């Protein structure tokens, strides 16, 4: 039960980060039953793409945004 509460808190924080960064938020079903969180980023010449994802049971919340490189 404590893990479920923790993942719900993580999902709420991810949504707040998405709102702050004006990110795209995707909520989608998952085939299977999962719990967990993911942070991923890829550096490109013109910026960095960030992905935050959390899975709560059968629901996946994904937050994606790009930060431009200064210079």
pLDDT digits (tens, 9 = 90+) for 3-33: 788 888 888 888 898 899 899 999 999 999 9
Range of the domain at 13: 2-68
Helix (H) or strand (E) holding 6, with range, is helix 2-20
Burial class of residue 19, CB neighbours in 10 A (0-12, 13-18, 19+): exposed
Which pLDDT score is estimated for 68? 86
Number of domains in the chain: 1
Which pTM does this prediction carry?
0.81
Helix (H) or strand (E) holding 10, with range, is helix 2-20
pLDDT at position 51 over 90: yes
pLDDT at position 71 over 70: no
Which pLDDT score is estimated for 56? 86
Beta bridge partners of 66: 49
Which pLDDT score is estimated for 11? 84
């Amino acid at each position: 039960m404590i893990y479920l509460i923790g993942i719900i808190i993580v999902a709420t924080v991810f949504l707040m980060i998405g709102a702050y960064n004006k990110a795209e938020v995707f909520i989608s079903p998952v085939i299977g039953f999962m719990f967990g969180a993911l942070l991923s980023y890829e550096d490109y010449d013109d910026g960095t793409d960030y992905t935050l994802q959390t899975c709560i049971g059968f629901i996946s919340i994904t937050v994606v945004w790009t930060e431009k490189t200064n210079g």
